[in-house]
Amino acid sequence: MSTELPLHKRRRVPDAAEQAGIPWLGLLLPSERAQAVAGLIVGDALPGDYVCRVGKPVTYWFGVVEGLLKMSSDNAQGMTMTFTGVPPGGWFGEGTALKREPYRYNIQALRKSVVAGLPVDTFHWLLDHSIGFNRFVMNQLNERLGQFIAAREIDRMNNPDLRVARSLAALFNPVLYPGVGEILRITQQEMAYLVGLSRQRVNEALASLQAQGTIRIEYGGLRVLDLAALRSSAFVGKNSV
């Protein structure tokens, strides 16, 4: 039996480096930043930890400082549908925080991660007082809408190579995930969890993408060489079905 404390009991005050990994803090005026920092917490999530669960009330707006999370839900038949991964720099749940409604999805750590939380009351205070914060949240909502439309398209794709390409492109969104940069720290097994394919099939798709010059597989991650090609619906992998 695990002796680890639950995630909410592992929370602490973020250090300077962790604050630097929060993209919207730099958009705030000094007084606004002081209000935000006073409420910010971080927690060290272990693989399998739930950051939030379906039906639970919203208490924080969350973001990823380090690591990788998965957003998913279970249907009536008990099958899990994965919506997206959340890599470093990504903040999520602004719609839920705005409406103060229970979560409609699960967020789970795929690996050891540092997760930041802003109290929902502070989130609303910033909406009421900060133009910079409002613009950030508006951009988030706009990009999120596009992301979920794309996720719907990906879910209907029969070409595994294309599914992997488009799923990778979503993880390299510079607006939603500014902490990723050109290299995404992800394993093939983690990618398989997010795409809904076997590890072997993901490996084949990544090899195909590398052969076409769109990515380069590096130790511990993937480097994107041609993001436009990954996003293109014209891409067809050599193993299309």
Digit-coded pLDDT (tens) for 98-122: 999 999 999 999 999 999 999 999 9
Can you tell me the mean pLDDT for 146-164? 72
State the Cα–Cα distance between residues 126 and 122, nearest whole angstrom: 6
The CATH 1.10.10.10 domain(s) of the chain lie at 158-231
For residues 187 and 149, the model is more confident at: 187
- Spatial contact of 19 and 25, defined as CB atoms under 8 Å apart: yes
Run of H or E residues at 92: strand 91-92
> In this model, does residue 202 exceed pLDDT 70?
yes
Fold of 158-231: Arc Repressor Mutant, subunit A (1.10.10)
Lowest mean pLDDT, pick from 2-6, 108-112, 118-122, 221-225: 2-6
CB burial of residue 114 (10 Å; 0-12, 13-18, 19+): buried
Alpha carbons within 13 A on the beta-carbon side of 185: 14
Query: Residue holding tokens 């209907």?
Result: 156
What pLDDT was estimated at residue 239?
46
State the Cα–Cα distance between residues 172 and 166, nearest whole angstrom: 10
Neighbours of 136 (CB within 10 A): 21
State the Cα–Cα distance between residues 127 and 36, nearest whole angstrom: 11
CATH superfamily, with its number, for domain 7-151 = Jelly Rolls (2.60.120.10)
The CATH 2.60.120.10 domain(s) of the chain lie at 7-151
Q: Which residues of 9-35 are buried (b: 16+ CB within 10 A; e: fewer)?
A: ebbeebeeebbebbbbbebbeeebbeb
Q: How far apart are the first and last CA of the chain?
A: 44
For residues 97 and 179, the model is more confident at: 97
User: Packing angle between helix 120-129 and helix 30-39, nearest 10 degrees?
Assistant: 170
> In this model, does residue 148 exceed pLDDT 50?
yes
pTM as predicted: 0.83
